[in-house]
Chain A
Amino acid sequence: MKEKILVVEDEWIIANDIKDSLADMGYRVTAIASSGEDALAKVEEEPPDLVLMDIVLKGEMTGIATAQAIRARRDIPVIFLTAYDNQYMVDQAKKIDSSGYLLKPFKDRELHIAIDMALHKKQQSGS
């Protein structure tokens, strides 16, 4: 069965580009959410195996706050995606128990490895 991924990214074009890449890697994208509130709703609608989370989002919630809210409810690994490499962002992201931090633009191969490792780790800790 294909592993399910939720993509949280407010830039539609980037989100769909990532969605195509994920499909090429053999994953299924459950949905694309463009805000934190939207992401929480989409997680409840169809819980994914992993969440790819942009840090800068539309609306009131940042990606970091959204990840925190998701992790508080469900044990779903979250990988952050961001174009910002400043230390403040990294420090904020560190406070959350995340499965990775990818700097845009990232290579498909990097994304694939990051997802693979996060899912593998989850599987091991679950069994």
Chain B
Amino acid sequence: MKTSIFTVLIFGVFIIMFATAFLFFFEIIFRLGRQLMAKSNALEDEIVQRQEAQSQTETSLWEKELLLKEIHHRVKNNMQIVSSLLRLQARRLGDARIIEIINDSRSRIGAIALVHKALYSPDSLASVSLHDYIKELTNQLFDFYAVEQERIKLITDVESISLNIETATPCGLIINELVTNSFKYAFPDERQGEISVILKQNSQADGYLLQVADNGVGLPEDLDIRNSDSLGLQLVVNLAEHQLQGELEITSNNGTTFSITFQETGYVQRI
């Protein structure tokens, strides 16, 4: 009997010990589970927060682009106002030479305004598509100087090239001057002819070739292009060689050809 009581006792103690251990173990599992749940909730919160932050960043980027486009639009409109202001003045003048000077200035303003127009078009922000720009610029020039395309034919051959505003603007001004020059001097006495504007990747160097040519009467023999009084020619030479740091070559043979090889000017991308 003694033995059996002793056995029951030992057995009881054993069960109690076992139960305590089990409860203790269960408590640990339970606590670990709670901690894990808390961690997982925190992670889920963080994911939501990060998603919100990302969408905020995207929205603010979108707003920034929209504002930038709006600014380019306003710059273009302001240039339009400057141009109108000059025309108001020109209409009150009698001297044909001064009127011509004012009109040439308006045409230059127009060339720059088109760069800003290109920068608020739907698919561009930091660069100007030269293909579209040159088409618009040359058409604008024909309208501006009231030149009939039946009399002077325009040929444009422009590869799909996009350039930053710092490169596109001097390119536009150079084309503006050269096409204007051809209008004024290459085809005297209502002569017929052709003007061509070509822009392509330069096969030899890592850069571009801009060529503006006409098949008119050619440049005067005694013209020293680098020491000319004409602002137009000074603009062409200096924008090509200094602003674009390119090379300018002029041939006058069955008309006039200006060839400029240049690279995109290196500015750190700002936007």
A and B part of one assembly: yes
Partner of B80, one of A14, A107, A109: A14
B268 / chain A contacts, CB cutoff of 8 Å: none
Band of interface residues on A: 10 to 19
With a 10 A CB-CB cut-off, give which of A11, A14, A105 has the most chain B CB atoms: A105
Question: Does A20 make an interface contact (CB < 8 A)?
Answer: yes
Is there contact, CB below 8 Å, between B80 and A104?
yes
Whole-angstrom distance between the alpha carbons of A17 and B91 in the complex?
9
Band of interface residues on B: 10 to 19
Whole-angstrom distance between the alpha carbons of A16 and B143 in the complex?
21
B83 / chain A contacts, CB cutoff of 8 Å: 105
Question: Does B81 make an interface contact (CB < 8 A)?
Answer: yes
User: Chain A 1-28, CB within 8 Å of chain B: the 1/0 string?
Assistant: 0000000000101101100100000000
Would you give the shortest CB distance from A105 to chain B, in whole angstroms? 5
Partner of B84, one of A13, A83, A107: A13
* Closest A residue to B83 using CB positions: A105
CB under 8 Å from chain A, chain B span 69-86: 73, 76-77, 80-81, 83-85
Whole-angstrom distance between the alpha carbons of A11 and B84 in the complex?
11
Question: Does B200 make an interface contact (CB < 8 A)?
Answer: no
Q: Given the known A-B contacts A20-B87, A20-B88, are A13 and B77 also in contact in the complex, defined by CB atoms under 8 Å?
A: no
A16 / chain B contacts, CB cutoff of 8 Å: 84, 88
Q: Given the known A-B contacts A83-B73, A107-B143, are A14 and B81 also in contact in the complex, defined by CB atoms under 8 Å?
A: yes
Whole-angstrom distance between the alpha carbons of A83 and B113 in the complex?
13
A binding-site residues for B, Cβ under 8 Å: 11, 13-14, 16-17, 20, 83, 104-105, 107, 109
Can you report 20 residue pairs joining A to B where beta carbons are below 8 Å apart? A11-B81, A13-B81, A13-B85, A13-B88, A14-B80, A14-B81, A14-B84, A16-B88, A17-B87, A17-B88, A20-B87, A20-B88, A20-B91, A83-B76, A83-B80, A104-B77, A105-B80, A105-B83, A107-B143, A109-B143
> Across chains A and B, which 9 residue pairs bring their CB atoms closest together, nearest first?
A17-B84, A13-B84, A13-B81, A14-B84, A13-B85, A20-B91, A105-B80, A107-B143, A83-B77
